[in-house]
Every structure is written in structure tokens, then in C-alpha cells.
Amino acid sequence: MNKRLLALLSVLVLASMMLAACGTPATEAMTEEPAMTEAPAAGTEAPVASMGTLKIVSSLPMTGSSLTQTQTIVNAMQLRLEQANYKACGGAYDIEYEAWDDASAALGKWDPAVETENANKAAADSSIVAYLGTFNSGAAKLSIPILNAAGPLTMISPANTNPGLTKADKDLPGVTDSYYPSGIRNYSRVVAADDIQGKVAANFVKSLGATTVYILDDQELYGKGIADVFEATAKEIGLTVVGHEGIDPKAADYKALMTKISTSNGGAAPDAIYVGMVVDNNASQLLKDKVAIMGDNEGVKFVGPDGIQTQAFIDGAGADVAAGVYASVAGVPFEELPATGKQFKTDYEAKFGPLTEPYSVYGYETMSVALKAIEDVCAAGGDPTDRAAINSAVFAIKDFDGALGTWSFDANGDTSLTDMTFYQVKDGAYVSVGTFK
Amino acid sequence: METTRKKFNLRRFAIATLVLYIVFLIGPIVGLDVPAVYASIKSNPLQLVQFLIIGISNGAIIAIIALGYTMVYGIIELINFAHGDVYMIGVFTSLTVLSLTGTLESKDPAKIVFGLILALIVAIVFCAVLNATIERLAYRRLRNAPRLAPLISAIGMSFIIENIGLMWAAQAWLVPSFGTTGGASQKSFPDMLGILFTSLGWDVNLLASTGIALRLTIKDVMVIVLAVVLMVGLYLFVQRTRLGKAMRATAQNRDAAKMLGIDIDWVITATFLIGGGLAGAAGLMAGLYNNTAWWFMGFRAGLQSFTAAVLGGIGNIAGGMLGGFLIGLLASFSDGYLNARWTNALVFATLVLILLFRPTGLLGEQTGQKA
């Protein structure tokens, strides 16, 4: 009898542990619930009979190191919706928002299976009119064709930067047309692509006085893509590429690799190391072993793309180890944003606390674009539940006066803003060092 | 008799040909450019020694974790999938102890040494108890169930412990450097040995004063020495003590051991206690060596250690050590002379090859006779 009781008890304990464990990320992601209930009370307009509910979903990795960035994106999207009182078309439609997670605990980062499932779920739910995401370019490659065949359902990304998603390029692997089986483009992004970011980065490394560079990537669509652009540009502008290697993103350490690099340049270390990777792929460990073998980042420079421009990267490596690291992000720093952007930062901080993650404002802009498309369809007398109409309205956006500035989408769904800002780690935080084109 | 031997040789020959074919087919892609590798060794022979040091240090950590797998498998023929995650908890336990004792901010050598020893003891005890608790809760009642049941239960425990690690890494009140970025991201494990040596005015690189262009840091020495001490201690324990004898008897034949009056439950609990304790020690070693704490780090470490255990001959303690060092060295040389992206493929290809020729691992399995 006693044994039975003990077994039952242990099962209960296990069950509660699992519930608690699963509960943490979920509750973090679903903070929009209270906001939804207060929205009707805060409504100032006269009640208009609602004609229906339009649903907007986001699909971002919310398990893994990227959560630091994606949580601010989700917060920003909610903030934008709150400002619109969760209504569109003069109150005729309610807007509902759900933040979906495309990462899994098993991988600790975005999971191809989960992203595909999300896209299929969105395709099947006819109340969804916009799919905001993804965060990782590799994930977008999977969901674009699924959503393209479903309406097409418009997809707006706050963060994908792989060029091949929107434009064909001879230097880049990306059979762009195969992503769009219906022949209609349904994917747009508010952030400039890596054909620009990689080029600017190579020029930046040269401007630091480096003549030799070693390139590492995480073997993902995004990481390898930007590393390839960097390599091509580096060779064009006269930098010597000592080596270009993919790393194992789950290795315990990279001391042997860093030892090899430390003598790769004719017995000496290269002037700089460029890493094409996201923080989830062990970027902090890579930096730690680089510093252990080759010394601080004043000597051999460590430069990376937007994937490592996050506080999680600095926390993981330690502030003293990360000091001096450079990372680029599309767009301008918060201080140089137009009035709408500055207002966004003020509003965000009033609600969610201090904001340093640069992608938050892109999340805000993405939601603004989705709302603008819905409003435009209504204004033209159209039906905002029609996915194709919403999609055309997104691509028709020109001279949009948003938080990032005034910009337009081109026919490929790329933004006209091409500024890149470089940040350097100082005293445990990224500080802007200048904007480049 | 003659014909079977010939047949056997023919098969081996066929396998060897196939292996050579694959090596020459894939080799160049992997970066196996023999003249280039030879040239790079010749131009910088000291670097070979450097890769050796790195490989042995990494291998030592893998070997210590592998011992936990191999002991448990040897005694109850269960692959304890949660073992790698117990090691991860060891990293977090030692980091938390170092933080709560104020060692992380300290520059006082005596305090750092005290903190490290305390962290080692607490990590060993905590992980030992955790591992034994896992056995009590998830495996004991399934001991006579079909083999797959405890295996699935072990995978479940692995996920549970990973999630505990995920929550632990979010507790900034325990360790302030965890920050506010949530538990999912990698956390920094401060380089306490480096700080200790700097505070004493010594160079972290023990060979710095000799002028040899090699890095043999205090971290490498600590990892290797601690690993060797633990391994020799374990070996002597299993071979020389009464409980060790009881463990070997239980591994050979559980029922016979029971008939002879050996308390099987206690022996198995002791096995889990020792395995968990070793994982805890490996946790502190890895934290100090690689300076990272991450909730997901147990997965890869577990995979590599399990591979090491199989490579050396599962159930065989000396085999686990050998397998660990071998994998560490392979990975280090692959990173150093071939292409880093192929390191894992290389490690596992080697495992497949060795198992093809020696299905019971390098030193042979040591498990019960009933299987």
C-alpha cells in the first residue's frame, strides 16, 4: 500500500514540475491577455457594431537565447495594438493578436518542424490576415511557400536579413522563385537585407585598419549567407581572407579551432575575425575561447552581424570578455530615430522598462504596416478579411511615415531604408559607433 | 574451418576497402589534405602538442561524465539519459555556491580557494543525491519492466532536469550575473582560476616563463589532475573495497548476488550516488574550463560521453576513460587540422568504424551474463 502511495506521490511531483517548467516561457509570451481585457474599457469611440475579428499572429523563437530579442519585439507589437485599441477600420473590426513560438526546447532555438506547423496552422485559420515573422531567415524559407499557397497570406518580417528570400543573386544560394509557387509575392520585410549588411561590414572591418580576416559561420541560411557576402566583398576591396569555416554550434569549446586561427596568417593571428551567426549558436563560447587564446578584442578584432547584437551575447560571454566586440544592425540607433520612433521608445519604457534591443522598433513597425494595410483595404471599400487584398495593400505601401523614418517597399518586398549602424561593447552594453551606408 | 576463416577475412577486406573508398571520397571535402596537414605540422610542431593538451583536457571532462553512464549501464543495463543533465545541474550548483559565498567578487586567494573547494563538495553531494533520487523515482519501480520502459522514463527525466536548468538560469537573485535576459541564454561562469592566479601575481600560462610557445594553463592542469585523481580513486574503490566488490557482483548476476546476501537496492543506489557525484565534479571542472553555464549543455556532453562509454566498451570503467580521451583528442585534431564543421561527423564515423571491427568497444563490455 505504502509503495503505491509513494509512486502516486512521485508522479504528482513530476507532473507539477513539468507543468511549472512548461509554464514559464508560455506565460512570458502571453502577456497580452490582461491588455486584451482592458482594451474595450479604454475605448474612447462610440461603440460600433463589430463586423468581425481579424487575427494577426507572430511566429518568433521564444525558447532559447533569442528570447531576449524576440520578447521585446512581441512587447512592441502589443504596444502598437494597444495604441490602436485593438480595433481597425474605425472600430468595425476587432484585432486579435497571438504570439506564437517557433522554437522548441529540444533544439534550444528555432525548430524547422515547429515553424512549419505554425505556418500550416496559420494557413488553415481563415481569421488570420497577417503573419508577422519570422526571426530567422532559415525559418522564413520554410513558411513563405506554405503561406504563399494560402491566399496568399501576407508575411511581414521584422528581422529576416538573408537576401535570397526576396531577390535572386548570382553569388547567393536562394532559388527565390520557388518560394512563391502562386507567382504572387507575399513576403516583405522592414529590415535591410544582408547583401547590404555584409558589404558594409567588410568595408567597416577594412576601416578598422585590418588587412587580414578569418571568417566563421554557424552553417545556417542567415549565418552562412552573410558570411559569404562578407567574404565576396572583402576580396573585392582588397582584404585577405585567411580562411572561412563553419563551426559546430553545440560544441563544448572552440579552443582547438582558435589555436589554429591564431597561427593561420603565416604563423600569426589575423587582424580580425568575422562571425556570421546568431547568439543561440554558441556565439558567446566562441568569443570566450577567442579571447582566451588570442587576447582581448583590441588586438584581434571580433566583428559580427545583428545576430549577436543583443544583451544575451554580452551576458553569456561576460562584460570584460565581450568588451570591444563590434556588431552591425540595419537602421539607425534609437537616438537618431524620427519623432515617432523616439516616442515609441518612451512609450515602451513606460510600460515594459528599459529598452536596448534594436529589433524592438522593427517589431513595432511590422505591426504598423499590418494595421496600415487593413485600414487601406477598408478605406478603398474592400473586405479586410480577404487575404489577397491585405497582401496587395502591404506591397502598395509607399512613403510610409513610420517609427523607422519615411520609407517604401519595392516590388520584392524590401525596404528602401539601407542604413547600417555599428555598435561596440563598452562597459557591458552595446554603444553606437556610427552609421554607414 | 579453413573456409569460415577465409570468408571472415574476405568480409573484413571488403569493409576495409569500403572504408578506404569513403575516406578518399569524402576526405578532401572534410579537409583531409594530407600534404597540407603534414606541412602545417612540420612548420609548427609545437601546435601539435597544443592540440594534444586541449584534446586531453576536453577528453578528461568527457571521460568523467562517461564513467557515470558506464557504471549505471554495467550494473542495471540502463542508459541513463538524464546523466548529461545532472552534469549541467553540477555546473549551475557550483556557480550558485561560488556566488552565494561571495567568491565571484572576491580577489582574496584564500577565499577563492575555499570557495572552489566548497563548490566542489556541494556540487558532488548535490548531484549525487539528485542522481540517486532520479533512480528512486523513475527507474527503481521499472527495474523488472521491459527494457524500453526505463529508457523512456530516462528521456523524460532528462527533459525535466533541462527545464529545471532553464528555470535556474533565470534566478538572478542567486547569481546576479544571470542578468534579466531570462534563463534561455548562455550564462558566464567567471574564470575563477585565472582570477586566483592573477591575484597571486602568477601567470595563468604555466609555461610563460620558459619561453616555449605553448599554452599550458592552470585550467588544463586542474582538469587533467582532478580527472586522473577521480578516475584512479574510482578504480581503486571498485576493485578494492567491499562495496566495490558488491557492485561487481551485482553487475555480473543480480539474482545470484541477492542470494548471497548483497543488498541490491543499496548497491544500485550507491552506483547512482557515485555516478552523480562524478557528474557534479565534472560540472565544476567544465564551468572553470569553458566558463559557460547553459541549460542545454548537458545534451551534447551526454551524447559525447555516452559515445565515449560505448567506444571504450560499455560497463568497462577503464574503457570509459579511454573513450573520453579519444573523443577529446579526435575533436581537437579535427578542429585543428581538418575542418571544424566536420568534427562531429568524424567523431561518430570513428565510433562506427571501431564498432564494426570491435562490436564490444575497445576494451570490451563488462555487463551481466544474462544478456
pLDDT one digit per residue (tens) for chain A, 437 residues: 456 655 655 555 555 554 444 434 433 344 333 444 344 444 444 455 567 899 999 999 988 778 888 999 999 999 999 999 999 888 889 999 999 999 987 777 899 999 999 999 999 999 999 999 899 988 999 999 999 998 899 999 999 988 888 887 655 555 567 788 888 899 999 998 888 899 999 999 999 999 999 999 998 888 998 999 999 999 999 999 999 999 988 888 899 999 999 988 888 899 999 999 988 888 999 999 999 999 899 999 999 998 899 888 998 898 889 999 999 988 888 888 899 999 999 999 999 988 888 889 999 999 999 999 999 999 998 889 999 999 999 999 999 999 998 999 988 899 998 888 999 999 989 999 988 87
Q: Is there a contact between B179 and A315 if contact means CB atoms under 8 Å apart?
A: yes
Which residues in A lie closer than 8 A to residue B167 (C-beta atoms)?
20-21, 24
Distance from CA of B11 to the nearest CA of A (A): 35
Q: How high is the mean pLDDT of chain B? A: 87
Put simply, the chain B residues between 184 and 203 with a CB less than 8 A from any chain A CB are 184-188, 190
Mutate to test the interface with A, among B53, B163, B167, B168 (most CBs of A within 10 A): B163
Which residues in A lie closer than 8 A to residue B331 (C-beta atoms)?
251, 256
Exposed, middle or buried by CB within 10 Å (0-12, 13-18, 19+), for A153? buried
Q: Please report the DSSP string for B74-128 in residue order.
A: HHH----TTHHHHHHHHHHHHHHHHHHTTTTT---HHHHHHHHHHHHHHHHHHHH
Q: Is there a contact between A260 and B163 if contact means CB atoms under 8 Å apart?
A: no
Which residues in A lie closer than 8 A to residue B162 (C-beta atoms)?
105
Distance from CA of A334 to the nearest CA of B (A): 20
Distance from CA of A27 to the nearest CA of B (A): 13
Determine the 3-state secondary structure of A371 from DSSP: helix
Put simply, the chain B residues between 205 and 244 with a CB less than 8 A from any chain A CB are 215
Q: Please report the DSSP string for B130-147 in residue order.
A: HHHHHIIIIIGGGTTS-T
> How far does CA B139 lie from the centroid of its chain?
22
A227 and A151 in a common domain? no
Q: CB-CB: which of B179, B333, B340 is closest to A246?
A: B340
Distance from CA of A393 to the nearest CA of B (A): 37
Flag whether the ipTM exceeds 0.85: no
Condensed to tens digits (0 to 9), the pLDDT of residues B72-126 reads 988 888 889 999 999 999 999 999 999 999 888 888 889 999 999 999 999 999 9
Q: Is there a contact between B215 and A293 if contact means CB atoms under 8 Å apart?
A: yes
Condensed to tens digits (0 to 9), the pLDDT of residues B210-261 reads 777 788 888 899 999 999 999 899 989 988 999 999 998 998 888 899 999 9
Nearest alpha-carbon partner for A253 in A292, A221, A199: A292
Q: Which string of b and e fits A240-267 if b means at least 16 CB within 10 Å?
A: ebbbbbbbbbbbbbbbbbbbbbbbbbee
- CB–CB of A61/A136 below 8 Å? yes
pLDDT of B2 > 60? The answer is no
Which residues in B lie closer than 8 A to residue A263 (C-beta atoms)?
44, 47
For residue A385, the enclosing domain spans 53-192+345-407
Condensed to tens digits (0 to 9), the pLDDT of residues B273-312 reads 999 999 999 999 999 999 999 988 999 899 999 999 988 8
Residue A268 neighbours by CB distance under 10 Å? 11
A287 and A251 in a common domain? yes
Structure confidence at residue A377 (pLDDT): 93
Q: Is there a contact between B301 and A18 if contact means CB atoms under 8 Å apart?
A: no
Q: Is there a contact between A253 and B43 if contact means CB atoms under 8 Å apart?
A: no
A187 and A310 in a common domain? no
Residue A91 belongs to some domain of the structure: yes
A229 and A297 in a common domain? yes
| Greatest Cα pair distance in chain B | 73
Query: For residue A387, what is the domain's CATH number?
Result: 3.40.50.2300
A228 and A297 in a common domain? yes
Mutate to test the interface with B, among A255, A281, A308 (most CBs of B within 10 A): A255
Tell me which DSSP letter residue A336 carries.
G
Nearest 5 degrees, angle CA A403-CA A405-CA A409? 100
Structure confidence at residue A436 (pLDDT): 83
> How far does CA B355 lie from the centroid of its chain?
20
A67 and A186 in a common domain? yes
Residue A80 neighbours by CB distance under 10 Å? 22
Residue A430 belongs to some domain of the structure: no
- Pick the more confident residue, B123 or B26: B123
Cα nearest neighbour of A285 on chain B: B292
Q: Is there a contact between B343 and A248 if contact means CB atoms under 8 Å apart?
A: yes
A276 and A181 in a common domain? no
User: Does B54 reach chain A within 8 Å, measured CB to CB?
Assistant: yes
Q: Is there a contact between A24 and B170 if contact means CB atoms under 8 Å apart?
A: yes
Give Cα separations from B276 to A315, B92, B227 (angstroms): 29, 14, 15
Distance from CA of A250 to the nearest CA of B (A): 7
A271 and A350 in a common domain? no
Residue B371's pLDDT band (boundaries 50, 70, 90)? very low
Structure confidence at residue A168 (pLDDT): 73
Residue A37 belongs to some domain of the structure: no
Distance from CA of B226 to the nearest CA of A (A): 19
A57 and A188 in a common domain? yes
Counted domains in chain A: 2
Q: Is there a contact between A64 and B184 if contact means CB atoms under 8 Å apart?
A: yes
Rounded Cα gap, residues B34 and B19, in angstroms = 17
Determine the 3-state secondary structure of A22 from DSSP: helix
Mean pLDDT value across residues B179-205? 83
Q: Which is it for strands A52-60 and A87-88: parallel, antiparallel or unpaired? A: unpaired
Question: In the listed set A330, A357, A379, which residue is the last one of a domain according to the structure?
Answer: A330
Put simply, the chain B residues between 129 and 168 with a CB less than 8 A from any chain A CB are 137-138, 141, 156, 159-160, 162-164, 166-167
Structure confidence at residue A23 (pLDDT): 39
Cα nearest neighbour of A219 on chain B: B341
Structure confidence at residue A42 (pLDDT): 43
A208 and A180 in a common domain? no
Q: CB-CB: which of A7, A21, A311 is closest to B164?
A: A21
Distance from CA of B332 to the nearest CA of A (A): 5
Which residues in A lie closer than 8 A to residue B304 (C-beta atoms)?
252
Put simply, the chain B residues between 71 and 130 with a CB less than 8 A from any chain A CB are none
Cα nearest neighbour of B167 on chain A: A21
Rounded Cα gap, residues B280 and A293, in angstroms = 27
Residue A372 belongs to some domain of the structure: yes
Q: Please report the DSSP string for A235-272 in residue order.
A: HHTT-EEEEEEE--TT-S--HHHHHHHHTTBTTB--SE
Residue A72 belongs to some domain of the structure: yes
Residue A44 belongs to some domain of the structure: no
Distance from CA of B335 to the nearest CA of A (A): 5
A165 and A241 in a common domain? no
Quick one: CA dihedral B142, B145, B149, B154, positive or negative?
A: positive
Residue B23's pLDDT band (boundaries 50, 70, 90)? confident
A367 and A313 in a common domain? no
Work out how many CB contacts closer than 8 A connect A with B.
151
Q: CB-CB: which of A14, A18, A257 is closest to B340?
A: A257
Residue A81 belongs to some domain of the structure: yes
Which residues in B lie closer than 8 A to residue A219 (C-beta atoms)?
341
Q: Is there a contact between B181 and A64 if contact means CB atoms under 8 Å apart?
A: no
Q: What is the set of domains in chain B, with CATH numbers?
A: 52-357 (1.10.3470)
Q: CB-CB: which of B47, B137, B163 is closest to A259?
A: B47
Residue A31 belongs to some domain of the structure: no
Distance from CA of B110 to the nearest CA of A (A): 23
> How far does CA A378 lie from the centroid of its chain?
30
User: Does B55 reach chain A within 8 Å, measured CB to CB?
Assistant: yes
Q: Is there a contact between A252 and B300 if contact means CB atoms under 8 Å apart?
A: yes
Mean pLDDT value across residues B124-143? 93
